[in-house]
């Protein structure tokens, strides 16, 4: 195979090992569709002898991935380690400087260092491809860069994390607690068995939001502190009450332009149970784009796992093999805008509020008075007393108010000795 395209893979975890097997098995398909032969010349991971689902060729294994670049000089490098810094950043930078195309599903790396890495790729006239970094097998980035290239996108939102979507869906259907369902998700391989924190606290989805913002709005990846909340504090009680209200709870990633300013956030939302997004369940992801002139575009599919991720990685490979040398973020780094950031305090939303209180006279009126003092108007009220424990659950939905007002108000309400825990706040999506 004298004229083969030399390929290297750094990282042989669940995705990397699956990718390695796919590349071996689909060499003929790849040649048929691109006219190019490929050959895996080097692989690298922490352990050479780790038990893996697919057998690897230990003859091409390198303990030090730097040697793969310096000694083998591959044409294309797959980085599948997954760190935001460390060896991931080092190997990608070195590859780009050595005019090697890079393909990665590493959303943490791109969200943190994408601006600099893109400039490096452009300078050396090679590709930096990361389709698999957002929504697994859904071709959302290519849709924005190519399919909607002439549209003006104003808003992108959706379910960007399969782990959290599975947990919320399963809590609803099984009537089991967050802790019980998380354990099941870990057993099924939907959540990290050791530390699933980055899925649960919203960081995974937020890294994807930052990438979508940059592509959708032709802007630099922002580094502002943003609204990021996960699902760790969602109680089964909230799921059940939201159903009574004709709604469901979903963790949404949202980015939009408001009066020329960028507003990115990830947080649980109450959505109408008859809406499209309210019926995306299990480990599925869905991304919705609002743009002109096309209007609303919806993409849905499996967002995680080695199969969907490898599908996107191979899609990037075929694009490179066909000679599509292009800017990583669709336009040159020099033309990307640095957008002003929207003030979170001015964010207006209707809200779901849950208060756990002592069942004593006057509690309800005191809460209502404090809300009124901050111009927060109650739309709906459900009060459920528990006479055995002398406690009560008070749930309210409100008309629109600012983030600044509600946060200040809840801090004051929480100081009341009759309020047993910090009030639960879930924003109502509209």
| Centroid of chain to Cα 54 | 28
Residue 269, class by beta-carbon neighbours within 10 Å (0-12 exposed, 13-18 middle, 19+ buried)? buried
User: Which residues are bridge partners to 102 per DSSP?
Assistant: 77, 128
Are 19 and 313 in contact by the 8 Å Cβ rule? The answer is yes
Q: Reply yes or no: is the peptide bond before residue 293 cis, omega within 30 of 0.
A: yes
Are 322 and 173 in contact by the 8 Å Cβ rule? The answer is no
Buried b (16+ CB within 10 A) or exposed e, 136-156: bbbbbbbbbbeebeebebebb
> Mind telling me the catalytic residues?
208
The count of other CB atoms within 10 Å of the CB of residue 305 is 18
How far is 96 from 94, CA to CA, in rounded Å?
Answer: 6
Q: Which residues does 83 contact at the CB level (< 8 Å), separation at least 6?
A: 89, 106, 108, 109
Q: What are phi and psi of 306, to 5 degrees?
A: -65, -35
Buried b (16+ CB within 10 A) or exposed e, 372-402: eebebeeeeeeeeeeeeeebbbbbbbbeebb
Are 285 and 136 in contact by the 8 Å Cβ rule? The answer is yes
DSSP-based three-state secondary structure for 43: strand
Cα dihedral sign, 398-275-233-386: positive
């Amino acid at each position: 195979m004298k004229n083969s395209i030399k390929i290297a893979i750094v990282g042989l975890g669940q995705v990397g090992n699956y990718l390695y097997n796919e590349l071996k098995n689909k060499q003929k398909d790849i040649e048929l569709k691109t006219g190019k032969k490929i050959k895996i010349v080097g692989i690298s991971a922490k352990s050479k002898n780790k038990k893996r689902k697919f057998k690897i060729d230990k003859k091409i294994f390198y303990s030090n991935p730097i040697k793969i670049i310096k000694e083998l000089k591959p044409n294309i490098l797959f980085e599948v380690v997954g760190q935001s810094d460390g060896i991931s950043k080092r190997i990608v930078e070195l590859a780009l400087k050595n005019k090697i195309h890079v393909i990665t599903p590493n959303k943490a790396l791109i969200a943190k260092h994408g601006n600099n890495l893109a400039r490096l790729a452009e300078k050396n006239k090679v590709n930096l491809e990361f389709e698999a970094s957002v929504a697994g097998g859904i071709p959302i980035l290519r849709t924005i860069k190519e399919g909607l290239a002439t549209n003006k996108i104003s808003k992108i939102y959706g379910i960007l994390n399969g782990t959290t979507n599975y947990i919320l869906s399963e809590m609803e259907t099984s009537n089991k607690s967050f802790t019980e369902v998380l354990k099941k998700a870990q057993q099924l391989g939907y959540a990290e068995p050791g530390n699933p924190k980055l899925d649960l606290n919203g960081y995974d989805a937020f890294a994807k939001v930052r990438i979508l913002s940059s592509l959708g709005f032709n802007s630099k990846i922002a580094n502002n502190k943003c609204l990021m909340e996960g699902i760790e504090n969602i109680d089964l009680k909230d799921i059940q009450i939201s159903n009574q209200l004709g709604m469901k709870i979903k963790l949404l990633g949202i980015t939009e332009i408001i009066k020329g300013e960028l507003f990115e956030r990830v947080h649980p939302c109450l959505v109408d149970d008859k809406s499209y997004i309210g019926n995306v369940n299990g480990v599925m992801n869905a991304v919705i784009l609002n743009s002109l002139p096309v209007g609303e575009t919806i993409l849905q599919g499996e967002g995680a796992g080695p199969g969907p991720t490898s599908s996107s990685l191979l899609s990037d490979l075929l694009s490179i093999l066909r000679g599509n040398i292009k800017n990583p973020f669709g336009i040159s780094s020099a033309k990307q805008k640095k957008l002003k950031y929207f003030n979170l305090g001015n964010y207006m939303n209707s809200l779901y509020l849950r208060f756990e209180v002592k069942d004593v006279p006057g509690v309800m009126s005191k809460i209502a008075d404090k809300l009124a003092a901050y111009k927060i108007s109650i739309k709906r009220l459900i009060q459920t007393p528990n006479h055995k424990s002398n406690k009560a659950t008070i749930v309210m939905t409100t008309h629109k108010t600012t983030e600044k007002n509600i946060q200040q108000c809840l801090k004051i309400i929480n100081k009341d000795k009759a309020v047993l825990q910090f009030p639960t706040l879930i924003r109502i999506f509209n």
